[in-house]
Structure 1
């Protein structure tokens, strides 16, 4: 059998090197090196061609290697692996070939965060967060989100630099299809969650928040906040509304667990449901969380002017619905407008405010779906290889969630209604932006922190209460998950476990915060039971939230298994009749519409 490992004697090939270099820095010349393969400290840099990029990336991690820049031209990526493990990697699942790489010199200007109006280095200044960090709360601590928990209901969080502080970044339950695979559980195989997490609470090690002047240091909006990852989405963003609702209910049930203090939910997600928001279960779930004292921040959607309605559950009038602002690549807000893709809503319900959401530079998740399939998201000239650029109301919501954490550290007694009133009453007016779609203006957390606390009478919202007794199927809108073996879609009034859905019974439990009982939700066991004491004094570590094996059957009558729902086999599914593949991942796609990030570039 011929080996799949090849030595290129200095470079994979001059042709591939030139193509890849051109792809990374469009229009920039590249020179293929003639030096020997890069081998330092017993580690070798290689090009990994993949049959399954996600499985190949996980294989690199398992042998002690690190995944680098994606190479779409060869359906693979650059990696650095222990030289002794090369023979192991070449036969790993998902790997087509492993080729020693050589150095390629790029003749292009290096990217600098302080020269990019859409970097977080610039965003924390434009929103006033940098000034807020220098202020003190009533306990004499700098206001950076300390002690405030933000639940990120998304695709998981990768422990990349800036998100590898295990005292602040905590895995809650994995409620995704991948939870049954030990190698995929908690991993962000999609890449969306990691990007959002960085914007909310990222912080490079040893960063001094009082003197953030080094543009190579990455910081999110609330760099001292606790971020609790609740994973609901698999490798291509696949999730069902029942999983998202279960995630919201879990946060409500565990908001006061030791070490969590969850006061904020970030939901950069929405469906195109047309169901009345007072009946819709997803809308009721976020409203129930709001009324339990959790400020819920939701992306408004990425339908632009093509649909005269916000995404569900941003349509719920209680929560904070956020639209995306376009900075026009300048630091001044005088020219900011509503991003063309940001949903406008209608005269009855539009977004409450906007936040930066166009071409935002966040943390990259090497080897994830978006990383491998969207090389245009890589930042040209970024010599660190750490960053990825994306646009959407997802990013705007995440930036706002971080701002809410700052406000709640300063004033822990604020109700969600008061938080919303403070943000909307202090937003910056955008003179060039259309009113519909811009809401109260653009987020200014400096103004909010300096403003007096609104009275209960001035802040309290009095919208008609939702009932949540509508249908689960209508809540899904046009998107359905499907069994990758049979192609049968999950439809009707049942959750991913195949359990019957009774809206009246669930809604009553959700309103009372009792939808979860131990690890059971809607009559089936989904997760483990909680937290346990850590090894270090004062720290906590998670038990296996998802340790229970799903014993139910799926909606097509077959038994769930880790193999069935692995990242390698969960592909090619259909959403509303559309087949998912790399070349159709655009426009109204799961990442484009439902996860509210329309552009990964």
Structure 2
């Protein structure tokens, strides 16, 4: 997740390839008797280090790797780089503004979704060393964000609705976890917020919704303020795998006495998969770790860790409700100094026995203003016309009408959301080691009055290593960024997401 607040305090140091190899060795033979520095930089954590901090290595040794659990990732897409092509990644519909661009459909041109996918469920084919938190879970990617992170809140609402509607498409891996590292500075309560209603409907459908708290250093962003979902703050591991010295990351939203994060997880300088040629990769080359990996910081990364942890827990206890998943993770966590929220400890969570667990809160209506949910995050057409008002990218949208349809799980019918054609109607032939949902060409007028067919889409293509531009003129989407995007400066040598 990205945010504008306190960016300078979240500098990320570069990790050397040698340090990453050291982390890989630790993953192959985890040691529980002692804790060591994970690299001489004392700043960047490989996934082997992260897994050890939250005791995911202990869970894996006991045979719990997320097998049989589906995890939906609503983000900026996932590219088929090594680590995400071993057969456990499927691409749902592309609901982003890039879905009409040949070569970019479902692909991550931003770099955010690929980084999180690696943390959640990455795994090398053929027994390679790279492993995410839940390498045997099934990851379903639903793309909503474009190359600069541009996304409207209604696109996210539609994506959540789609996940709920298709949660049982794969009977062997039903969707039980949803990762949403997205937030807005909405100007209305979570009780009336349409976005809040969307995630709560997923919760009511039996899906544990994991949301990043935000990187503002202050208030939690929407929908993280909804008490029914698992809101995650980020810790700084301080260069060791001993959770006893972990601290709240300086950028992490801490909330207020009325709503603080539910749990914490490592989120500073996390090494995951690189998306070559993406926005993040091109603009922050100092965050690269060799040819394959990339360093990112944020509550996005922390939420990805928790999503993987939830899948591991659900493998052992498949009948847990979303509330019980929250209680297990929160009640068994390791104390973080200065925080009301504990850091996830999977070793304890897998051993815990719940006796009483409940969650209360005011019922959500979802009938508030779509525009107020956008806050300051607006998508703008290249001619300078922002998307505003009570509408989605295709036309007028009544939040009250949508709220009833979303609660009844009828907002999607085939490839139509709220009566408008948006995407395809079924799964297509897998490619690049990933299964894919079919797409659809958009018609009608945009919010600026132009027709979708009149827009000169960028003729970019994925060639396996980098995004290459041809002569096509791209629509200059601007203004909106993935969760109030705040990229670190080049001098900070890193990336905050």
TM range (shorter): 0.7 to 0.9
Q: Which runs of 5+ in 1 are unaligned?
A: 1-24, 29-105, 136-141, 209-216, 593-597
In structure 1, the residue corresponding to 2:125 is in which secondary structure? Answer: coil
Q: Is 2:150–2:479's contact at 8 Å kept on the other side of the alignment?
A: no
The aligned counterpart of 2:224 is: 314
Task: Compute the displacement of 1:126 (Å).
Answer: 1.3
CA–CA distance in structure 2, aligned partners of residues 122 and 494 of structure 1: 45
Q: CA deviation at 1:285?
A: 0.5
Match of 1:120 in 2: 47
Is 2:157 the partner of 1:265?
Answer: no
Q: 1:110 to 1:359 in 2, by over 3 A?
A: closer
TM-superposed deviation, 1:460: 2.6
TM-score, normalised with respect to structure 2: 0.85
Structure-1 residue corresponding to 2:370: 472
Deviation at 1:574, TM superposition (A): 4.2
Over 3 Å counting, the alpha-carbon distance change for 1:261 and 1:341 in structure 2 is same
Query: Does residue 552 of structure 1 match 2:444?
Result: yes
Question: Which has the higher Rg, Structure 1 or Structure 2?
Answer: 1
8 Å CA contact 2:457, 2:475 repeated in 1: no
Aligned to 2:205: 292
Deviations 1:217-237 (A, max 9, x none): 211000001000000011111
1:143 correspondence with 2:44: no
Q: How many residues align?
A: 448
1:528 pairs with 2:424:
yes
Task: Find out whether 1:494 has 2:376 as its counterpart.
Answer: no
Query: Counterpart in 2 of 1:63?
Result: none
Question: In structure 1, what is the equivalent of residue 83 of structure 2?
Answer: 162
- Structure 1 residue 528: Cα displacement: 1.0
Alpha-carbon distance in 2 for matches of 1:247, 1:590: 23
For the 8 Å contact 2:268–2:296, the answer to whether it is kept is: yes
Structure 2 SS opposite 1:475: helix
User: Are the structure 2 counterparts of residues 240 and 263 from structure 1 closer, same or farther at C-alpha, using a change threshold of 3 Å?
Assistant: same
- Partner residue, 1:516: 412
Listed one character per residue, the Cα deviations across residues 308-342 of structure 1 (whole Å, up to 9, x for unaligned) are: x2111001110000000001112222221100000
Separation in 1 of the partners of 2:437 and 2:475? 30
**Which one of the candidate residues 104, 111, 121 is aligned to 1:184?**
104
Look up the SS of the partner of 1:414 in the other structure: coil
The answer to whether the Cα contact below 8 Å between 2:148 and 2:478 also exists between their aligned partners in 1 is no
Residue 358, structure 1, aligned to residue 256, structure 2: no
- Whole-angstrom distance in 1 between the partners of 2:314 and 2:329: 12
- Cα separation, 1, equivalents of 2:67 and 2:457: 37
Distance (Å, rounded) in 2 between the aligned partners of 1:354 and 1:109: 28
Q: Distance in 2 between matches of 1:599 and 1:570?
A: 25
Answer whether contact 2:149 2:485 (CA < 8 A) is retained.
Answer: no
Q: Which residue of 1 aligns with 2:30?
A: none
- Aligned with residue 423 of structure 1, among 329, 334, 337: 329
Contact 1:180 1:562 in 2 (8 A): no
CA distance in 2 between counterparts of 1:276 and 1:483 reads 28
SS of equivalent residue, structure 2 residue 127: coil
Deviations 1:561-599 (A, max 9, x none): 4954436755655428xxx9xxxx9x963667xxxxx93
Alpha-carbon distance in 2 for matches of 1:121, 1:368: 25
Pairing of 1:93-112 with structure 2 (within 5 A): 111-112=20-21
- Report the counterpart of residue 288 of structure 2 in structure 1: 378
What does residue 197 of structure 1 align with?
Answer: 117
Q: CA deviation at 1:532?
A: 6.2
Name the structure 2 match of 1:95: none
1:195-248 Cα distance to aligned partner (Å, 9 max, x none): 00000000112338xxxxxxxx21100000100000001111111101111000
The whole-number CA distance in structure 2 between the counterparts of 1:148 and 1:127 is: 19
Residue 265 of structure 1 aligns to a residue in which SS? strand
1:531–1:540 CA contact under 8 A, matched in 2: no
- Structure 1 residues 126-135 or 391-400, which shifts more? 126-135
**Would the aligned equivalents of 2:93 and 2:437 in 1 still touch at CA under 8 Å?**
no
Cα distance in structure 2, aligned partners of 1:152 and 1:111 = 26
The answer to whether residue 265 in structure 2 is matched with residue 349 in structure 1 is no
Name the structure 2 match of 1:392: 298
The CA distance in 1 between the partners of 2:402 and 2:234, in whole Å, is 33
Distance 1:294 1:238 in 2: 26
Decide whether the 8 Å contact of 2:90 with 2:434 is kept in 1: no
Higher normalized contact order (CA 8 Å, seq sep 6+, divided by chain length): 2
- In structure 1, distance between residues paired with 2:232 and 2:385: 35
Taking a change above 3 Å as real, the CA distance of residues 109 and 277 of structure 1, as seen in their structure-2 partners, is: closer
- The CA distance in 1 between the partners of 2:65 and 2:118, in whole Å, is 14
Residues of 2 paired with 1:234 and 1:163: CA distance?
20
RMSD across aligned positions (CA): 2.6
Asked if 2 retains the 8 angstrom alpha-carbon contact of 1:533 and 1:540, the reply is no
In 2, Cα distance between equivalents of 1:220 and 1:193 = 14
